[in-house]
Structure 1
Amino acid sequence: MGEIKLLDCTLRDGGYVNDWKFGHNNMVSIFERLVDANVDYIEIGFLDERRPFDINRSIMPDTDCVQKIFGNLDRKNSLIVGMIDYGTCSLAHIKPCEESYLDAIRVIFKKHLRNEAMSFCAELKKLGYKVFAQLVSVTSYTDDEMMDLIRLANEVKPYAVSMVDTYGLMHQNNLKHYFDLLDQYLLPEIGLGYHAHNNFQMGYANCITMMSQVTDRLLLVDGTIYGMGKSAGNAPIELIAMYMNSNLGKNYDISQFLEAIDANITSFYTPATWGYNMFFYLAASNDCHPTYVSDLMKKKTLSVKQINELLGRLQGDKKLLYDKKYMEQLYLEYQENDIDDTLDVQALKELFGSRKLLLLGTGDSVTEQEELLKNFINENNPIVISMNYIPDNISPDMIFLSNSKKYVQIASKLSRHQGEYKIIATSNVTKTSGAFDYTVRYKDVLDTEENAIPDVAFAVLLKTMEKVGVKEVYLAGIDGFNETHNGIYLDDEERCDYGIKHTDELNEYVNQMMQRMNKTIKMNLLTKSIYTL
């Protein structure tokens, strides 16, 4: 049996949803999560000379621009792939493979262009790339046309030929028909791929059929995170990977896909809906009632990875017979065993010692009163900790992370300045690779007072300082909420979730929280603020 490998094309095919404007930080985060999920091939976007370079988009005019966006990222064992829609990017825009970040290029073409496109593939091979021939709308090929394509492919000898079900029309019978033709007549060294679309909701089922075929050649199966793609979307890669882990002995890290769905992909889902729903994926993959998923998501205290782990603890008939009390008990037990942060808490106590601590929010006063802050830093040599962001004008010693989406927003900057900042993270934030410098248990640093607002970053940071024994802090950039600035306390998505709470309510909560916590941690406001102590 030949080897079966997984290819992700989220940054390329998913781009039809958002005109490839994922945002640079999102692209970096998605790429790093795919690498750490052990995906074999990662397609990073289109090469299209008609489009100007935009660091926030995964559609690029030439191979040099691929380097500008992804060149500093560690690919580990993944092969990096770009795609050309034949006729949109000439050879003049493609550097030799040895001078490029790309390992491979996929060329997609309609059947009437197969002669010219296969000649183009041959030229790309001469440049050193692994070349994939992507057959647009494979279901439109007659048997004679397919045999002619096979003849051309055997002359060029691409790395792989892929069946592209452009309009999602395939069922198992015609998939097997085209597979049998290609498998019988293609040279054995040419791989065979399948790219599903989900118009008939057959993408996942067809991928299983593809992987079930008996052949000695290399097989490749495409997917996108959360099935992201135009219309009904693509075959969801998290489903394919789950199947391959269970049935083919693979070891893809499913949690990385789920974290990418939550942190990187769902923001594009609401304005341009496609495919299925993550709630139902989590429920189906754990054979449980979907209300369990809904209940856990609403708590806003668990990452998707943690929710998935908790659902895995459901037992017997309770899986499908919803029992709220049963889930609450499992939730409490899980929270109690979340992480052991003893060593990290002790390390922070020793690190802080008798040093002064300066906590930076994102308020305008950090810039407006920059000179005052720099004088304070020069005179007092404090440990500077910024909350969920990296300031432009003042370099922090540490960054406090309590929100996964805020982490995504600064991922590329952290990657460029690796090791420059120490990071304290709460346990609900999952690092794209490796571990944070210090992690504190999230449930211990939530404000549990009556009428507290969930996940207010400033409150979480103060509770963290309290947990590690800090007695005094200096504050800057804690300006307060207003109609145009959300401050550093609540991210935009949560602000929508709690839309009935106006800025006055948020400010009132923060002011009361500060008054209350000022009894255990002395707070000194260095810059202007609407809050009083």
Structure 2
Amino acid sequence: MSNTLQLLDCTLRDGGQALENLNKNGIKTEIFTEENRRDIATLSSKAGIDIIEIGCMSDSYNGLEKFAIYNNIEELSKYMPKKTFENQLYTGLYVDPDTSLDKIPEYSPELVEGIRVILRYSELKKSVDYCAGLAKKGYKVFVQPMLTMRYTDDEIKYLVYEANNMNAYALYIVDSFGYMNEHDVDRLYNAYAKELDKKVKIGFHAHNNMENALINVKYVIENLNSRDTIIDACAVGMGQGAGNMQTEVIVDYLNRHLGTKYDFNCILEICEILDKFRPHDIEAWGYSPVRLIPAVHSVAYKYAIEMRLHHNMSLVEINNVLSKVPEELRHRYTPENLKKILNA
């Protein structure tokens, strides 16, 4: 490859949110002890991972540190280990644009240098302005348009324009519901690359509902190398929904085929820590037919999970219902939206 490829590990963040989602739905799991959080971050650093996400944050959250979810950037940043190499980068993710910018300090070395922000589609300008405000405070900003497939061509152009204006660190393609294929990845990557400033990296965050994560990631690496690129991954694929690209799988692939020097044993040590976290009575993450069906119909995966867990519906019943979801209810699960779908 002629351009830089960076690997971002988001085990603590996406994995922590997965655990929080399970517990919120009455499914008890192990939690991240303080030792777990420090060990996972340190092992990721020692493995030579380029970018390590320490967790997520919002001032609406309290008492959720056991899921690597923090109230503010100062608390999250306490879990940064010492860098293994100079350009290693630590990040935290804001789950929304609601924490007042006035509460977020200017960047300083004791804080994570990178901030990722999930854009709220219904408040796109507010979200983009929030990213720009963080950039002005000195942070390296990663712009995360969740469910990028829902964005129109004009909205994609708007994101690219604003990412250039704020001098974002990266603009992401996010396959939130895991139904993107190589054609989709190619289209969005090239739409970004056409107008995006060369200094702005393109990121790809894959989910594994249709077991396409590795296929899509390899496609990006092997075919879309016109830009500096970031690939996201989680140890054991631990993440929301069907989970993510597995760090151990992509590390082995990159070491074998691109000559990278990530420490595979350090990643396996993280996998060992996480072995006890998956509840044995439920598929907490990873591929399952229940998570495949919503991806087939391009709808939010939580619909199928709720139908299975709390309505005891068969796979055929779930498929029949999700095949008829109206457009305005596809992308956002709420209990109210589920009632509308089931009562249709």
- Comparing both chains, which one has the higher relative contact order based on Cα–Cα distances under 8 Å and sequence gaps of 6 or more? 2
Q: CA deviation at 1:235?
A: 0.8
Q: CA deviation at 1:56?
A: 3.3
**Match of 2:335?**
none
SS in 1 for 2:66: coil
Matching of residues 479-494 of structure 1 within 5 Å: none
Per-residue CA deviation, residues 75-115 of structure 1 (Å, 9 max, x unaligned), is 32231000012234222332221154201000111334332
Consecutive aligned runs of 4 or more in structure 1 exceeding 6 Å deviation = none
**Match of 1:74?**
82
Per-residue CA deviation, residues 402-453 of structure 1 (Å, 9 max, x unaligned), is xxxxxxxxxxxxxxxxxxxxxxxxxxxxxxxxxxxxxxxxxxxxxxxxxxxx
Tell me whether 1:7 sits opposite 2:8 in the alignment: yes
Contact 2:54–2:77 (Cα < 8 Å) also in 1: no
Contact 2:17–2:69 (Cα < 8 Å) also in 1: no
Rg (Cα) greater in structure? 1
**Match of 2:279?**
270
**Match of 2:144?**
134
Change (3 A) 1:150 1:233: same
In 1: Cα distance, 2:181 partner to 2:130 partner: 31
In 2: Cα distance, 1:88 partner to 1:213 partner: 37
Tell me whether 1:236 sits opposite 2:246 in the alignment: yes
In 2: Cα distance, 1:230 partner to 1:121 partner: 23
Q: CA deviation at 1:217?
A: 2.5
Q: CA deviation at 1:215?
A: 3.8
**Match of 1:200?**
210
Change (3 A) 1:24 1:178: same
**Match of 1:104?**
114
**Match of 1:246?**
256
Matching of residues 402-417 of structure 1 within 5 Å: none
Q: CA deviation at 1:25?
A: 1.0
Contact 2:17–2:67 (Cα < 8 Å) also in 1: no
**Match of 2:44?**
34
In 1: Cα distance, 2:65 partner to 2:286 partner: 28
In 2: Cα distance, 1:92 partner to 1:213 partner: 42
Letter in 2 for 1:29: D
Per-residue CA deviation, residues 296-326 of structure 1 (Å, 9 max, x unaligned), is xxxxxxxxxxxxxxxxxxxxxxxxxxxxxxx
Per-residue CA deviation, residues 487-519 of structure 1 (Å, 9 max, x unaligned), is xxxxxxxxxxxxxxxxxxxxxxxxxxxxxxxxx
**Match of 1:495?**
none
Letter in 2 for 1:167: F
SS in 2 for 1:268: coil
Change (3 A) 1:55 1:75: farther
Contact 2:58–2:96 (Cα < 8 Å) also in 1: no
Letter in 1 for 2:247: I
In 2: Cα distance, 1:53 partner to 1:93 partner: 19
1:177 to 166, 171, 187: 187
Q: CA deviation at 1:201?
A: 0.6
In 2: Cα distance, 1:8 partner to 1:158 partner: 19
Change (3 A) 1:215 1:18: closer
Contact 1:110–1:137 (Cα < 8 Å) also in 2: no
Consecutive unaligned residues of structure 1, counting only runs of 5 or more, are 278-533
Consecutive unaligned residues of structure 2, counting only runs of 5 or more, are 22-30, 289-344
In 2: Cα distance, 1:40 partner to 1:212 partner: 19
Per-residue CA deviation, residues 103-134 of structure 1 (Å, 9 max, x unaligned), is 10001113343322121111111111100001
**Match of 1:62?**
72
Structure-2-length-normalised TM-score: 0.75
Matching of residues 335-484 of structure 1 within 5 Å: none
SS in 2 for 1:259: helix
**Match of 1:261?**
271
Contact 2:209–2:287 (Cα < 8 Å) also in 1: no
Q: How many residues align?
A: 274
Change (3 A) 1:56 1:270: closer
Per-residue CA deviation, residues 230-272 of structure 1 (Å, 9 max, x unaligned), is 231111011111111112221111111112111x111111255
**Match of 1:152?**
162
Contact 2:177–2:241 (Cα < 8 Å) also in 1: no
In 1: Cα distance, 2:148 partner to 2:120 partner: 9
Contact 2:10–2:232 (Cα < 8 Å) also in 1: yes
Contact 2:90–2:114 (Cα < 8 Å) also in 1: yes
In 2: Cα distance, 1:46 partner to 1:186 partner: 27
Q: CA deviation at 1:276?
A: 6.2
SS in 1 for 2:171: strand
Contact 1:119–1:156 (Cα < 8 Å) also in 2: no
**Match of 1:354?**
none
2:198 to 172, 188, 202: 188
In angstroms, what is the RMSD of aligned CA positions? 1.9
Letter in 1 for 2:74: D
Contact 1:63–1:100 (Cα < 8 Å) also in 2: no
In 1: Cα distance, 2:155 partner to 2:132 partner: 20
Contact 1:135–1:163 (Cα < 8 Å) also in 2: yes
SS in 2 for 1:14: helix
